[in-house]
Structure formats: C-alpha cells, structure tokens
Amino acid sequence: NDAQFNVAYYCNVLVDSTGLCYWSPPAIFRSSCSISVKYFPFDWQDCTLKFTSLTYNAKEIRLLLKEEILNETKWMVEWIIIYPASFTENGEWEIIHRPAKRNTYKHIPMESNKHQDITFYLVIRRKTSLLRGQHHHPLRAHLLPGLAGLLPARRQYLMFIMVVVTVVVLNCVVVLNLHFRTPSTHVMSEWTKQLFLQRLPLILLMSRPAEAEPYWDGALPRRSSSVGYIASAEEYDSVKSRSELMFEKQSGRHGLEKDNWSGIARTVDPLCLFLVTPVMTFGTVIIFLRGICNQPPHLPFKGAPHDSREENPRLL
C-alpha cells in the first residue's frame, strides 16, 4: 500500500443489454517460474499461470474460457493468444505448447474458492542452437539460476570424469608402489603369484616374457675324458667359499622376487585400463542420453486426445 487511495486509472467498461459487463483494463502480468536444470542444457520447462477468485466461490461466479463464433461455427479458445506484432521471440527458449484449461475439482465443494480455476500452460524448450558455441565458448554461470537445486547433466558429467580421473591416479600410485617393492620390505604370498602372474595375464591376453634359451653355435662337442673337468670343478669349489655361494643364491632369489613384483605391476596397470575404459564410455553415454531423450510431450496434457492448438480448435 502506497497510501494513495484515489483511483490511479479509469478503465473502460462495456455494458451489454443482458447485464454483462466487460472490463478491459490494460494489464501486464509478470510471473516467475521455478525451473529444473537436472538435464541442462537439454531441458524443457512447464510454466503455469493460474487465475482464480479468492473472494467468490463457484456458486457466485463461474470462470470460463473465451468463446469465438465465425460463420455460425463456435469454438472455445483453449490456447494462449500471441500477437505477432507485440511478441519478441526469445533467443534461448522456444515455445512448444501454450494451452489454456478450465479446471474443476470435484472433491472440493463448490462453496470453496478453490473449486475452479483457469490455468494457462507454457511448455518451453531450451534451443539447441545454444549448444553450438559450447565447443569454443563455455556456458556462463549466469545461464543457470542461483538456486537450481539439482545438478545439471553437464555438471554431473564433470563430476563423473573427476571421479574416474581420481581412480586412475590412485591406480598409478598403486602400480608404482608394486613396481618398486623388494623382498626386504614385502613378502609375496602364493595366491598373489597365482592370480597376478598366471591367471590374470591369460585373461588380459598379455604376452609373458620369453625365457632365455641356451646358446648353441651349431658345432658338435668332441668326445673327451671328463676327468679333467671334474678335477677342475672340485678345485673351483674348494677355492670358492660357502658364504659366496650362499650370497649368489640369495641374490638370484632376490632378483627373481623383484621381477615378480614388477610383473604384478605390469598386470595391474592394464587391468585398470580394461575396467576404467568401459565404465567411462558407458557412463558418458548414459549421462548424455538421459538429457537428449528428455523431450517435451507431443500433447500438452497426458491422456488428452486434443492438442489445444490454434490451428486445430475444438468445436462446440
């Protein structure tokens, strides 16, 4: 209330001989519509504008849609009338349906002011032309409402990729840890050898390292007495100490164990590749297909055979 109780504007009233009064005030209705950005930028919205009487009930006043008569043909205007001269097309949204409907609620008594209303529906869809500039110019944050509530498909995809990248980085850390393990710090169990060195390489179609073959130059050995060789071998063993023999044996076992840890690391790395690749592919396809398949209905009202279009009026 601005403390001004005088009439600000005197509108015209058309009075019919039957007592029908037609008020024609110049009015502009401004309304806000809460939108869902779950499938942004492949979203569509259903905005409504409801008119009802808060003072009179259904027994005192009836809310009806406008009727038109042309050449003894009568129909009801069940759509939002848009005048092309005063209409400016929006660059972000396109109008799919614009029906109007008179709603009566049978479970609410006629003495209530909520028994009837007239609702105008505006089904709009975000234009796909907005997506053309995404390859070079990312969508700005101001295109989304401040309190969207739900995560859009684009943000869901970015979060999904972030989780996948985190898993890949953790896998790299695990592979490096396995590669640089030594028998002095870790002990390898038998089931680990069976799983990562024998079974998984066969499943992943990995090529196993070829074993070294003995060298042969093609010359046949000559027959000779082996007494001299046996004597030299016994002489060599007597010269070589037992500690050196144990050290060589332990060094060979140490190197073999280290190679086994490196083999496990080489198995875990492609295993992550085989697991992450299908997950990332199917996740990307599912996220974007949910948005692309999110299309507005062909008819404005579910189960209604009439499309409430100006080109197809329903005759009375």
Q: Are residues 282 and 160 in the same domain?
A: yes
* Full domain range(s) for residue 169: 155-208+242-293
Q: Are residues 90 and 187 in the same domain?
A: no
**41 lies in a domain?**
yes
| 5 φ, ψ (degrees, to nearest 5) | -100, 0
Cα separations in angstroms, 21 against 12, 15, 18, 24, 297: 10, 5, 9, 10, 39
Instruction: Quote the CA–CA distance of 101 and 33 in Å, as a whole number.
Output: 18
Q: Are residues 167 and 93 in the same domain?
A: no
What is the value of pTM for the model shown?
0.60
Q: Are residues 287 and 161 in the same domain?
A: yes
- C-beta neighbour count of 57 within 10 angstroms: 15
Q: Are residues 101 and 160 in the same domain?
A: no
**In a structure prediction context, what are the per-residue pLDDT tens digits for the chain, which is 316 residues long?**
455 656 666 777 888 888 887 877 666 677 788 888 788 778 889 988 888 888 888 888 888 888 888 777 888 888 888 888 888 888 888 899 999 998 999 899 988 888 999 999 999 998 876 565 554 445 544 455 554 556 677 778 888 999 999 999 999 999 999 888 887 778 888 888 888 888 888 887 777 655 444 444 445 455 555 545 555 555 555 555 565 656 556 665 666 778 888 888 888 888 898 999 999 999 989 988 888 888 888 888 887 777 777 777 877 7
Cα dihedral 275, 278, 282, 287 sign: positive
**312 lies in a domain?**
no
Q: How many domains does the chain have?
A: 2
Q: Are residues 287 and 166 in the same domain?
A: yes
**177 lies in a domain?**
yes
**254 lies in a domain?**
yes
Instruction: Quote the CA–CA distance of 262 and 181 in Å, as a whole number.
Output: 8
| 163 φ, ψ (degrees, to nearest 5) | -65, -40
**252 lies in a domain?**
yes
- C-beta neighbour count of 196 within 10 angstroms: 21
DSSP state of 208: P
Which residue, among 259, 279, 254, 260, has the nearest Cα to 171 in the 3D structure? Answer: 279
| 299 φ, ψ (degrees, to nearest 5) | -115, 145
**32 lies in a domain?**
yes
